[in-house]
Amino acid sequence: MTGRTIDAGELRRRTQQLLAEHPPATTERTAFLTARFDAGLAWVHYPEGLGGLGAPRSLQAVVDTELEEAGAPDNDPRRIGIGLGMAAPTILGFGTDEQKRRFLRPLWVGEEVWCQLFSEPGAGSDLAALGTRAVRDGDSWVVDGQKVWTSSAHTARWGILIARTDPDLPKHRGITYFICDMTDPGVEVRPLRQLTGEAEFNEVFLTGVRVPDSRRLGEVGDGWKVAQTTLMNERVSIGGMRIPREGGMIGPVAKAWRERPELRTHDLHQRLLSLWVEAEVARLTGERLRQQLVAGQPGPEGSGMKLGFARLNQEISGLEVELLGEEGLLYDDWTMRRPDLVDFTGREAGYRYLRAKGNSIEGGTSEVLLNIVAERVLGLPPEPRTDKDVAWKDLNR
């Protein structure tokens, strides 16, 4: 660093230098992405040496635009979304210097895929009730338990894991946060077949898995606080993605309406207009939320965005099936596939309709998010909680 302020002009200069030294047309994809990270142009607001330059977050668009116009490769963000949207900000906020150096670059480049080992069969909406145990054994922790609804576990190298380390404390206080190597002995990944016929999700069994204490994030017992960073970033990444006008689920419906006039009815027209407006409002609200993130960390507003995302996707996909009639029920691939990512817009209407049902569950159920918005955004009185001060071991489960 030269000590001068990083502004838009400086970022353009650095981006052009990257393109000159590593022409996208002749540079291997991973080599280009690695060079971009090392140049501080991955996350410009991250510290120098960790993919950034300590620049304002709002200036990331300057770099992205220059690289897109030059035909530079991206890091396939949908495939590595859990790493980018959840693991990276958590590691940045709570990781040691060694952990940041070890994990952030391969995470951003896409060399290592991440998954999230949070939910359990008996602890989904009430995540703090989790029962997976981690017991200290010298310089390691021995982990036993079961996780569920784990996206990308079948392709992931690393998992962000929360486990109970002190059952004598109330449920929110006896949790610790770890990084789990998904290739370690004792980690078993089993597919969960969904309504779509695919197995995008998994259940993960942890049996005597040894996790070195060097892969602990944050202090022992502070896992709930660390997990809040992950969860808030997760909801922003799900509900606040940057999309163009008529991007996302509303795009295919509007396209079908324009191109196939024989499908149109007055009732569906009114509903399409209403949902189109709501989708545009949600898109612009997402832009505002991202602008707010420039000044700090994501807050409970992300929960509101995720709520709207889930409801809109379900209503829009339902309208699309009605618009297409019998054709909307067709679904040409009911095989037991293990997809790397969810494709909401590149598949049939029937797939979108079925897959959207999960939007109100994943990333926090809509019921839980309503409570968060009510209490932390609107300032309404919280629901009575009788178990907050009860030791986890004494809870009825």
Q: Say how many CA atoms lie within 13 Å of 53 toward its Cβ.
A: 27
Note if the pTM is more than 0.95: no
pLDDT value for 279: 93
CA 190-195-201 angle, to 5 degrees, is 30
Return the domain boundaries, the chain: 8-74, 114-220, 240-377
CATH of domain 240-377: 1.20.140.10
Assess whether 280 carries a catalytic annotation: no
pLDDT value for 251: 93
- CA atoms of 182 and 179, how far apart (whole Å): 9
From the list 120, 234, 320, 348, the catalytic residue is 234
User: What residues in the chain have per-residue pLDDT under 70?
Assistant: 1-4, 234-242, 290-301, 333-335, 341, 343-345
Q: Going along the chain, which residue ranges are E strands?
A: 114-117, 133-137, 140-147, 158-164, 175-181, 187-192, 201-212, 216-217
Burial class (CB in 10 A: 0-12, 13-18, 19+), 176: buried
pLDDT value for 287: 77
CATH of domain 114-220: 2.40.110.10
